[in-house]
Structures are given as C-alpha cells and as structure tokens.
Copies of this chain bind each other. A is one copy, B any other.
Amino acid sequence: MALEHILLGMLRTPASGYDLKAEFAASISHFWAAELSQIYPMLQRLEKRGLLSSKSEPSDRGPPRKVYALTKAGRVELRAWLKRPPQINTERIEWLAQLWFMDELGDNERALAFLSALRGELAQELATLERVEAQWRVEDSRYPDQLPDNEFFLQLTLASGLKKGRARVEWADECVARMKARARSKKGRKGNGRRTRAAR
C-alpha cells in the first residue's frame, strides 16, 4: 500500500523510475527503501489504473527515459492516503532478535563484540543523517523552523531519524558499559577472598 502512495507523492514533479530510485537513496531511505525491480512494475500498474501518465523522452546517453507524472485521479488517491490516520506497524529488527537469544552462546566476550560492532553501524547511520542536516542548515538560513511548509514536513521526518539515531547509539553505549561492568564484577567474584579485601 505505502510504496504506491509514496511514488504518487514523489511524482507530483515528473520523473523516471531511475530518477525515483536515486531519490529514494538520497533522501527517503531512512524510512523507506525500494529497488528498481519493484519500482518499474509498480509504475506500470499505476499507469494502467489511470493514476499516472507517461511519455518517452530521449536521454543524453543511454536508452530513452520514460517520464511519469501524476494525473488528477492520482492526486485524489494521494490525498485520500494522506488523510488516513497514522497506524503503527511492528518493526522487525533482526539484530534485536539475535541479542534476545545471545545467552545461547555463553560467551560474553562475543556478545560484547556484537554490541560494539552494532554501535559502529548505528553511529554510521546517524552520521549520515547529521551530515544531511548540517548541509541543509548552511544552505538555508530558515532551517529549521522558518522553512516553507513543504520543507518543514521533510525536516520533521529528518528530526525523527536524528532523534531515533541518537537514542540508538546511546543505548548501544549503555549496553557496552553495562556488559563491561558485569564482566568486572564477575571476575571479582571468581577470584578468592583476596580481591575483596584488596578493594577496601
């Protein structure tokens, strides 16, 4: 349901399937991803349903571009979707599933390595969004609250990504710290009385 409406929304300004894929990668990927093999058939179906129109245009290099644009019916459908109340679907996060069962390995060194690696990945994702924000801020002095409406909504979704990204990195840091603390206290308990006395 959603991909089709996202394409309609993007096609308020005409574009080819190839263009749309690039736009996904550049700006939308932090909350939705789509491959060309999904985009092309969907555009065809939307055209058949009368929600899009298309025309072929020669390109500078490579085969001709098929440029799609939103029709009136398409705009009606888009608006109807935007009026639906928000609904939250369960996100599926494989690395949380792995962590959930991590005790099976009985190897907290490995668990710690897993969490460190995860922390790195999460931090990288966050850094990408932070670069986007930094760029936007230098390019437009109205950022973030004086932006015109259309850009303001984009900023709200970016803010969501940033907030979530920061929360996740913080969480991973806390996990690492807590695991290390446990490892230390376990070592203490393993050694005989000596260490306890030495600690006073």
Contact = CB atoms under 8 A, between A and B. Distances in A.
Contact of A92 (B2, B105, B153): B2
Interface of A: 1-2, 5-6, 9, 12, 28-33, 75, 78-79, 81-106, 108, 110-111, 114, 117-118, 121-122, 125, 145, 149-150, 152-154, 156-157, 159-160, 163-164, 166-168, 170-171, 174-175, 178, 181-182
A121 B86 contact: yes
Interface majority SS (helix, strand, loop, mixed), chain A: helix
Given A85-B114, A104-B12, A92 B156 contact: no
A178 B9 CA distance: 24
A83 B21 CA distance: 33
A108 to B, nearest CB: 7
Contact of A32 (B85, B93, B160): B93
Nearest to A120: B86
| Copies held by the complex | 2
A123 to B, nearest CB: 11
A110 B168 CA distance: 31
Nearest to A75: B104
